[in-house]
Chains A and B, each alone.
Chain A
Amino acid sequence: MSFYLAIIGTKDNAVYDLEFGTFRQGGDGTSKFSADMKQLCPFIVHSSLDIVEEMQWNTNVMHLKVIDKFYNYLISAYMTAGNMKFLLLHETRADDVVRQFFVDLYDLYVKTLMSPFYSVDQPITSPVFDQRVKMLAKKYL
Chain B
Amino acid sequence: MAAIPTSLSEPSVADSEYTGLDRSRILSHPKSTTPSPSPAPSLSLSFSSFLTGHSAVSPGGPLSPSNAVSPSHLSAVASLIAQSFTPRVSIFASNDANDFARDKGFASVLDLFRPFGDVIPGPVVVRDTQGISTTLDDFGIRFTSSALFPSMQASHQQSSPKSRKEPTAPCFDLQDLDALLDIYLGKGIRYFSTDLAAPPAGLHDDLYYRFLQRLLASPPVSPHESFAHPVAGIIAISSRNPQPIETLSSLYKAGNDAVVPPYMSKDYLRYYVLIHDEDHSDLDRSIALFERMKRHFGFHCHMVRLRSAKADLSSSEPILLLPPSQWISAAEEIALLKSPPEKHERYIFDSDVQNMRAFVHELVVKSLIPFMERCVSTWNDQIAASRRGLTGRFFSASRRFLGSNNRGLGSGIAQSATSGNYDPITGSYGFMTAESQMRKLADYGFMLRDWKLAHSTYDLLRKDFLNDKAWKYHAGSHEMAAASLILSGTPLSSKTRADTLEPLLDSATYSYISRCSQPTYALRTILISSELLRSRGGGAADDAARWLMKAISEKLMGNLAHALIIERVSACYSIRKGVGSQGWGNRRRKAAFWQLVAAKEWVGLDKKQHARLCLDEAGENVYDALDWTEEPGQLLFELRHSTESMVYDSSVS
Contact = CB atoms under 8 A, between A and B. Distances in A.
Interface string A33-62: 000000110111011111001100100000
B264 interface: no
Interface string A70-102: 010000000000000000000000000000000
A13 interface: yes
Interface in A1-35: 12-14, 17
Interface string B224-265: 000000000000000000000000000000000000000000
B626 A54 contact: no
B627 interface: yes
Given A13-B627, A47-B590, A47-B592, A53 B632 contact: no
Contacts of A53: 584-585
Contacts of A49: 589
Contacts of A13: 626-627
Nearest to A71: B553
B8 interface: no
A44 B553 contact: no
B586 A50 contact: yes
Nearest to B587: A50
B585 A43 contact: no
B491 to A, nearest CB: 21
A39 B639 CA distance: 11
17 contacts: A12-B625, A13-B626, A14-B628, A14-B632, A46-B626, A47-B589, A47-B590, A47-B592, A47-B593, A47-B594, A49-B589, A50-B586, A50-B587, A50-B588, A50-B589, A50-B590, A71-B553
B596 interface: yes
5 shortest interchain CB distances as A-B pairs: A47-B593, A42-B632, A39-B635, A54-B585, A47-B590
A46 B633 CA distance: 11
Contacts of A17: 632
B597 interface: yes
A13 to B, nearest CB: 7
Given A42-B633, A46-B589, A57 B584 contact: yes
Given A48-B589, A49-B589, A50-B590, 7 more contacts: A12-B589, A17-B632, A46-B626, A47-B593, A50-B586, A54-B584, A71-B549
A130 B625 CA distance: 27
B163 interface: no
Q: Among A14, A44, A48, find the residue whose CB has the most chain B CB atoms closer than 10 A.
A: A14
Number of contact residues on B: which range applies? 20 to 34
Contacts of A39: 634-635, 638
A39 to B, nearest CB: 4
Contact of A40 (B578, B586, B589, B635): B635
A44 B593 contact: yes
Interface string B595-632: 01100000000000000000000000000011110001
How extensive is the interface on chain A, given as a class?
10 to 19
Contacts of B628: 14, 42
B573 to A, nearest CB: 8
A43 B586 contact: no
A48 B588 CA distance: 10
Contacts of B597: 40
Nearest to B576: A50
Interface in B316-358: none
Contacts of B587: 50
A97 to B, nearest CB: 25
A12 B585 contact: no
A47 B628 CA distance: 14
A91 to B, nearest CB: 16
A45 to B, nearest CB: 9
Contacts of B590: 47, 50
B569 to A, nearest CB: 11
Contacts of A43: 593, 596, 635-636
Interface in B42-77: none
B488 to A, nearest CB: 28
A47 B542 CA distance: 13
Interface string B430-459: 000000000000000000000000000000
A64 to B, nearest CB: 14
B553 to A, nearest CB: 6
Contacts of A46: 589, 593, 626
Contacts of A42: 628, 632-633
Interface string B633-653: 111101000000000000000
Most chain B Cβ neighbours within 10 Å, of A12, A44, A47, A57:
A47
A1 B318 CA distance: 73
Nearest to B583: A53
Nearest to B636: A43
B532 to A, nearest CB: 23
In the complex, which of the residues B549, B587, B589 has the most CB atoms of chain A within 10 Å of its own CB atom?
B589
Nearest to B633: A42
B165 to A, nearest CB: 35
A13 B589 CA distance: 13
A12 B588 CA distance: 13
Contacts of A50: 573, 585-590
A47 B545 CA distance: 14
A57 B580 CA distance: 13
Nearest to B592: A47
B626 A12 contact: yes
Contacts of B553: 71
Contacts of B588: 50
A36 to B, nearest CB: 8
B595 to A, nearest CB: 10
B81 to A, nearest CB: 28
A43 B619 CA distance: 12
A48 to B, nearest CB: 8
Nearest to B635: A39
A42 B635 CA distance: 9
B372 to A, nearest CB: 45
Contacts of A12: 589, 625-626
